[in-house]
Amino acid sequence: MTEPNRIIQLDENTIGHIAAGEVVERPAQVVKELVENSIDAGARIITVDVERGGFDLMRILDDGSGIHEEDLPLSLDRHATSKLRSQEDLASIGTLGFRGEALASIGMVSKLTISSRPPGSEGRQIIMDNGNKGNIEPAGIAEGTCIEVAHIFTNQPARLSFQRRPATETSQIVDVVVSHAISHPEVGFRLTSDDKVILEVPAVEEMEDRLYDILGRQAGRMIEISSPPSDDAAPGEENWKGWISTPDITRGKGDDIHILINGRPVASQPFLQSIRRGYRTRLMQGRHPVAVLILELPADEVDVNVHPTKREVRLRHSWRVLERLERAIAYTLESTPTEPESSGGITGITSLASQPVEKRSVEKPAWAQMAQVSLTGDKPIEIKQTEKPRPVSVAESSQTTITGKEAIAPALSSSERELHRHAGFDAEDPESSEPLGPVINNLPAMEPLAQFADSYILVQADEELLLIDQHALHERVRYERLRHDESLWQAQKRISSVPLELDARQIARLEARIEDLTSMGFIIESSTEGYSISSAPALLSASELEPFVHDILLDMSEDGAPLETVEQRKDHLAFLNACRGAVKANERLNLPQMRRLLDDMRRIPNPWACVHGRPTAMRIPLNALDHHFGRHG
């Protein structure tokens, strides 16, 4: 038996380090806390400068109220705040901060310099260097506050080793600034990263103007939400306002859904499901809309004191609030004009007379006509919801006579739809492509017997009957070919450059990761007209470029996305493209096409699985058939 370890009270310094671990996980979180402080101080303009993803330096400058000279040392103490006086105040918090922990925590893990000058006073500064507080010194500074955080985590090697790459951190910082810029249109923001201006939005009066500055032209296609009249009488004082995108503008992640609760940006995750439900069947699997949704409700119905970084809040009537949101979205989409020519434009911010002409140009809500729209926004994918009989197989001799008959695909399964979110492109003819390398697996020579349901190939392979999923196989074959054909990956100069519509956040990511894109074969140019792609990997067609770059920019916002190395990026591109050009289910193939697919099947490493890991074939051995029909013994 060992003696129990005795309990001691930790010293303040240790407690501070433990607390710092929660509040300051990464540079982007520091930026968030400091921007919130500036907003709380009533700043009209906030400038954020970061160097090397914030790891070298983060500087936040504001023109807010400043900090009283005598309070400077106190601002660095834990649980010291000007925003709360007593426990009662916790029930009705009107500021973004209130815990009094941020500056103290940041000062534990960096060299923190606070310079401040309240109106009519002298400038003063104080430094806290990895937990050591200095003295108050005079400082030359304009009215307001400047906070500098240098060399964060250099004294915390363990924490440093868990940090993301600077470029990733920069995108996170952009996200932080964007979400605050969206919640506070009355404040101007300027963000620079390594001396490059990444975001600059002036203070404006109307939220609509801010959205234009952040989302670019896409804002013109956002619809203002309204609640069904029946909700007026529903119990509860909560109220949703905001804008949602038409279903043709979507993102691969929910990152462009901004939720503000009483002016505080919060994590969108708890709201995503209700939002998707509000869209009914209009969104493709795995896609999310762009949305800015603003919830106003009495302060005592929301508890902001549940999370150290305040990204999460608790709502007293969360269920009711979510249902209201879903109803509002559904109602808004239903009452938006469905005929493109039937109205002068969609309701909402397109009607803003104050916008410059080019911002006001209203795109037709063509989406409204179709159930589903491909990523490029111009090629509808036929998804019939009505029951349609599966095609009936016919003998190969008569197959060739059926010409000119439009194939209408019946409903795809939802997982199929996800796989095909990039689809809408013509399938490649299996016979037209370059031959693969030598036979490398031990499949025998195979002979196609027939096609079943225009989806499966019946194949004789020695003593086995194979049922092959033509799409899965072709996808796999294409993947191998795309992956190993270097010429497809080389940058190809486009005859005319392809315009790229980007919002502020995408631009920021693009600017931060431009080298990565170049290494993938994309050359993106900016001019007064905006951004355009002048060069891209040969395998991407013009119409694929914009959606592709959008998705890559999204992936780049996180580490661990399948884009870490060039090799993985190529893999990812091959993966997506393999699916795009592959023959679909319900597509008639002739015998030579089937033969070619089967021949290719012998030249790929793992012929039994498609790129998504699903099986390509079902095997029925002859003796299993014999057994079934009682031919044994």
Q: How far apart (Å, rounded) are the C-alpha atoms in residues 329 and 240?
A: 10
Q: How far is CA 209 from CA 36, 215, 354, 433, in A?
A: 21, 10, 9, 50
Residues 112-171 contacting ligand ADP, CB under 6 A: 145
Minimum distance between the CB of residue 146 and ligand ADP, rounded to whole angstroms? Answer: 8
Residue 195 C-beta: closest distance to ligand ADP, Å: 23
Of 109 and 539, nearer to ligand ADP (C-beta) is 109
Name the one residue in this structure whose structure tokens are 């939400």.
225
Least separation in angstroms between CB 512 and Mg ion: 26
Residue showing tokens 């780049």: 556
| From Mg ion, ligand ADP, none, interface partner of 66 (C-beta below 5 to 8 A by class) | ligand ADP
Interface with Mg ion (CB under 5 A), residue total 3
* CA nearest neighbour of 123 among 80, 79, 81, 61: 61
Two tokens, residue 520: 């993938």
Task: Tell me the closest approach of the beta carbon of residue 144 to Mg ion, in angstroms.
Answer: 16
Strands (E), 344-485: 447-452, 456-461, 464-469
Smallest gap from residue 187 Cβ to ligand ADP (A): 12
Rg (CA), the chain: 29
Return the HEC string of 136-195.
CEECCCCCEEEEEEECCCCCCHHHHHCCCCHHHHHHHHHHHHHHHHHHCCCCEEEEEECC
Q: How far is the CB of 139 from ligand ADP (least distance, A)?
A: 14
Angle at 550 between CA 310 and CA 292, to 5 degrees: 40
Which CB, 61 or 207, lies closer to ligand ADP? Answer: 61
Q: How many whole angstroms separate alpha carbon 92 and alpha carbon 158?
A: 38
Among 29, 37, 38, 250, binds Mg ion (CB under 5 A): 37
Closer to ligand ADP by CB, 108 or 604: give it: 108
Question: Could you tell me if 470 and 614 are in contact, meaning their C-beta atoms sit under 8 angstroms apart?
Answer: no
Q: Considering beta carbons, is residue 58 or 573 the nearer one to Mg ion?
A: 58
Identify what 27 binds: Mg ion, ligand ADP, none; CB under 5 to 8 Å per kind. Answer: none
Instruction: Count Cα neighbours of 575 within 13 Å in the Cβ-side half-sphere.
Output: 12
The total of other beta-carbon atoms located within 10 Å of residue 8's CB is 6
- Should residue 223 be labelled a site residue for ligand ADP when binding is judged by CB under 6 A? no
Confirm or reject binding of residue 41 to ligand ADP (CB under 6 A): yes
**CB contact burial 417-437 (16+ within 10 A = b; e otherwise):** bebbbbbbbebbebeebeebe
Write out the two tokens for 379: 């090629």
Q: How many angstroms separate the CA atoms of 224 and 292, rounded?
A: 10
Residue 350's binding partner out of ligand ADP, Mg ion, none, with CB under 5 to 8 Å set by partner kind: none
Nearest approach in angstroms of CB 77 to ligand ADP is 9
Is position 265 an interface residue for ligand ADP (rule: CB under 6 A)? no
- The number of angstroms, rounded, from the C-alpha of 156 to the middle of its chain's C-alpha atoms is 31
**Alpha-carbon span 558 to 140, nearest angstrom:** 39
Which three-class secondary structure state does DSSP give residue 278? helix
What residues pair up with 473 in beta bridges, in sequence order?
Answer: none
Nearest to 522 by CA among 422, 502, 213: 502
Binding residues among 52-111 for ligand ADP as defined by CB under 6 A: 62, 64-67, 75, 81-83, 97-104
Q: How far is CA 184 from CA 269, 354, 430, in A?
A: 21, 20, 54
- The interface region with Mg ion, picked from 59-67, 89-97, 176-184, 569-577 by CB under 5 A, is 89-97
Which residue, 66 or 166, is less far from ligand ADP as judged by CB? 66
- From 30-38, 276-284, 316-324, 394-402, give the range in contact with Mg ion by CB under 5 A: 30-38
Tokens matching residue 590: 């002739």
Window 399 to 428, contacts with ligand ADP (CB under 6 A): none
The smaller minimum CB distance to Mg ion, of residues 77 and 382, is found at 77
452 vs 597: CA distance, rounded Å: 15
Q: Which does 589 bind (CB under 5 to 8 A by kind): ligand ADP, Mg ion, none?
A: none
Closest CB to ligand ADP among 62 and 255? 62
Residue closer to Mg ion, measured from CB, 38 or 47: 38
> Taking CB within 5 to 8 Å according to partner kind, which of Mg ion, ligand ADP, none is near residue 68?
none
Q: Within the chain, how many helices (H) and strands (E) appear?
A: 19, 25
Say which entry of Mg ion, ligand ADP, none residue 473 contacts (CB below 5 to 8 A, set by partner kind).
Answer: none
Residue with tokens 């970084």: 309
Comparing CB distances to ligand ADP, the nearer of 38 and 586 is 38
The separation between the first and the last C-alpha atoms of the chain, rounded to the nearest angstrom, is 70
For 6, phi and psi rounded to 5 degrees?
-80, 150
Taking CB within 5 to 8 Å according to partner kind, which of ligand ADP, Mg ion, none is near residue 145?
ligand ADP
CB of 44 to ligand ADP, least distance (A): 12
Give the residue closest to Mg ion by C-beta.
97
Which region, judged by CB under 6 A, interacts with ligand ADP, from 36-44, 372-380, 445-453, 595-603?
36-44
The residue among 608, 542, 610, 570 whose CA lies nearest residue 485 is 570
Q: Which of 23, 39, 61, 102 binds Mg ion (CB under 5 A)?
A: 102
Q: How many residues bind ligand ADP (CB under 6 A)?
A: 22
Query: Binding to Mg ion by residue 97, rule CB under 5 A?
Result: yes
Residues 96, 264 contacting (CB under 8 angstroms): yes
Smallest gap from residue 65 Cβ to ligand ADP (A): 5
CB of 4 to ligand ADP, least distance (A): 37
Instruction: State the minimum distance, in angstroms, from the CB of residue 39 to ligand ADP.
Output: 9
Nearest position to ligand ADP, beta carbon: 97
What does 430 interact with, of ligand ADP, Mg ion, none (CB < 5 to 8 A by kind)?
Answer: none
Query: Of 82, 101, 73, 75, whose CA–CA distance to 16 is shortest?
Result: 101
Which residue in the set 24, 33, 113, 176 belongs to the binding site for ligand ADP (CB under 6 A)? 33
Binding site for ligand ADP (CB under 6 A): 33, 37-38, 41, 62, 64-67, 75, 81-83, 97-104, 145
Binding site for Mg ion (CB under 5 A): 37, 97, 102
